[in-house]
Structures are given as structure tokens and as C-alpha cells.
Amino acid sequence: MPPKLFQSEILAIEPELGDASRVTISVPAGMANEVRPGQFVHILPRGEGTLDPLLRRPFSVMRPRPENQSVDILVRPFGRGSGWIARQKIGASLDVLGLLGNGFSINPSARNLLMVAGGVGAAPLVMLSEEAVEKGLNVTFLMGGATAAALLSPSQLPESVEYVVATDDGSQGHHGFVTDLAPNYVPWADQVFTCGPEMMFRSLRRALEPHRLHRKPPIQVSMERSMACGIGACLGCVVETKKGMSASCVDGPVYDLDLIDW
């Protein structure tokens, strides 16, 4: 389905990850059936009568809800744009462009999938985990946050997913970075998927490098670059790859970690 510009309604808002919210927004007919894990919607974070903020903000789809033509997104009030979206109430109207981006892909031969999530980076990995479990695959979901309150609620994941957490302050699970946990799973994992802050990707890369052989298991990463147009026109979101510059809104946001020029 090509990207569409549409008016969406906020259907539900639930607290999640401490200061973030799980927001259910309506989407055009058929879109919730088409969305792939890792794709995102680009939301204009302002009301009528103002041009500020000027640019849309990207949000990964956390969960499609085809039964009522809607999707869930996870919104952390980080700055002006996400803060405006987080302040909206049920029934509010949003100007949305979507679906955008390429999404994650599960190799047909993979059986064991390792997710490594930091903060709101959990959103696309929840959807990927649900899809994987439906296919009968094994999923371990590593989640990192500053405190216990900032972690994803386990009820957001299918029961069969092994959920392991790390907190910066040691209030739950491993006391330290989520990337400290990942090397233990390298012999088991056929594929690794990660989403979160860029610093986390760098530390994941460093942590896994000594344990990987011939770049196995492969690692897919969803890059979080600031975006403007969302359709490949402004080059505001470029990622430097070993094959040259890449517009992450259309060629990404998901890349092979080994392809990124760190």
C-alpha cells in the first residue's frame, strides 16, 4: 500500500513505560492488515492555526488492530512534538502520513529470535515478537530502561516470549545495560533485532562482536534519525552506510547493523 495522508482519531490512551503512553489511532481501511513490524507513521504534532512545530515526527507501529482499523503507537513525551501528541485526549484528530519505511524481515530458516530493546524502541519489537510467535518461532526479548517503572509491561508480549530485563539503577533484573545480557544468547539466536537509542546499538555491536563468527547471527537495527519529509525528498534523515548515503525514511529505518558505517 503506498503511503497515504489521512486524518486519524485517537481511540484510546493507556500508560506504558512510566512516562510514555500507548496510543491507539484509527487508520484507513486495510492499513492495519498491511503494516509490517518496523514500519512507522509520521504525525504532524500541532493543531490548527499554527505552523509550530513545522515538521512531522515518526512513531513506530507497536501493534496493528485490524479488527477496528487502528494501530497502537508508543509515545514518550521527549520534546515539543512528542510532548504535544502525548497531551492529546481521546477523540482528538491527528494529521498522519503512513505507512512509511521498510520494516524488519525474519529469515525463512530462523527459529530463535533475540530482541534487544531500549525504552520506546520496544514498540516495533513487540509487533515483531507477536508475528514471530504466530509463526511458531522462539523469542527472547531483552528490555532495558532507566528504572523498573520505565520497562515494558510483560502483558504487552505473548506469553511464550522469554522476557529478561535490565535497569540502570538495578531496581529490576540485571543491574546495568541491556546490552550486557545479549552475548549469552548469541549461540542460541538465529537473528538479532534491535531498536532504541543509537548509543545502545554501538554498545550492542561492541558486546556481540567477540561472540559472532562470520557476522552470524545477523543483526537488524532500526535507526532513529530525525526526519522531515518522510518520503525520500529532503535527505534530512540520511544514514551513512558502507554502500553510501541512505535515506532512512524510505530505505530504512531497518538496516543490517554490519552495513552501517559506524
Ligand X SMILES: Cc1cc2nc3c(=O)[nH]c(=O)nc-3n(C[C@H](O)[C@H](O)[C@H](O)COP(=O)(O)OP(=O)(O)OC[C@H]3O[C@@H](n4cnc5c(N)ncnc54)[C@H](O)[C@@H]3O)c2cc1C
**Which residue ranges make up the site for ligand X (CB under 6 A)?**
40, 57-60, 73-76, 78-83, 120, 123, 224-227, 253
Which residue's CB atom is positioned nearest to ligand FES?
Answer: 249
Q: Are 73 and 61 in contact (CB under 8 A)?
A: yes
Radius of gyration (C-alpha) of the chain in whole angstroms:
18
Here's the x/- map for ligand FES, 98-127, by CB under 6 A: it reads as: ------------------------------
Q: Which is nearer to ligand FES, 100 or 122 (CB)?
A: 100
Query: Is residue 53 a contact point for ligand FES (CB under 6 A)?
Result: no
Residue 35 touches which of ligand FES, ligand X, none (Cβ within 5-8 Å per kind): none
Shortest distance (Å) from residue 6 CB to ligand X: 18
Q: Are 169 and 146 in contact (CB under 8 A)?
A: yes
C-alpha span between 228 and 225 (Å, rounded): 10
C-alpha span between 112 and 152 (Å, rounded): 21
C-alpha span between 46 and 48 (Å, rounded): 7
C-alpha span between 246 and 101 (Å, rounded): 12
Residue 247 touches which of ligand FES, ligand X, none (Cβ within 5-8 Å per kind): ligand FES
Shortest distance (Å) from residue 155 CB to ligand X: 18
Which residue from 1, 5, 54, 233 is in contact with ligand FES, where contact means CB under 6 A? 233
Q: Which is nearer to ligand FES, 13 or 231 (CB)?
A: 231
Query: Is residue 228 a contact point for ligand FES (CB under 6 A)?
Result: yes
Report DSSP letters for 173-184, one per residue.
Answer: SEES-GGGTGGG
Query: Is residue 232 a contact point for ligand FES (CB under 6 A)?
Result: yes
Residue 66 touches which of ligand FES, ligand X, none (Cβ within 5-8 Å per kind): none
Query: Is residue 237 a contact point for ligand FES (CB under 6 A)?
Result: yes
Distances (CA, A) of 160 to 34, 47, 133, 139: 25, 42, 8, 8
Strand order in the sheet with 162-167: 174-175, 162-167, 138-145, 112-118, 191-195, 219-222, 254-256
Distances (CA, A) of 44 to 49, 58, 64, 93, 229: 13, 9, 20, 10, 11
Q: Which is nearer to ligand X, 208 or 223 (CB)?
A: 223
Residues in contact with ligand FES by the rule CB under 6 A: 227-230, 232-237, 247, 249
